[in-house]
Amino acid sequence: MSYRISDECIACGVCEVECPEGAISQGENIYVIDTRLCTECAACAEVCPVEACIPENKATA
């Protein structure tokens, strides 16, 4: 299971800087995670100010 970035993303870029695998990049409107590179370290989730980095299988509200 990798992480993904929900629509709650405010495109601040903090997660991209913290990702040790370089799996996060700027998408069209929000940041995106390349699931092939994500190692589930949760560094992105730890720094996200709006809790937009969530496990891939977590349901959205």
CA distance 37 to 46: 18
In a domain, 50, yes or no: yes
CATH of the domain at 11: 3.30.70.20
Q: What is the pLDDT of residue 42?
A: 97
In a domain, 25, yes or no: yes
pLDDT above 60 (res 60): no
Q: Are 16 and 31 in contact (CB under 8 A)?
A: yes
Q: Is residue 61 part of a domain?
A: no
Domain count, the chain: 1
> Considering the entire predicted model, what is its pTM?
0.89
pLDDT tens readout for residues 31-54: 999 999 999 999 999 999 999 999
Residue among 58, 43, 47, 42 nearest 6 (CA): 58
Structural domain that includes position 46? 3-55
40 part of a folded domain: yes
Confidence check: pLDDT of 26 > 90 = yes
The answer to whether residue 27 sits within a structural domain is: yes
Report the C-alpha gap between 30 and 10 in whole angstroms.
7
Which residues make Cβ contacts (< 8 Å) with residue 28, sequence separation at least 6?
Answer: none
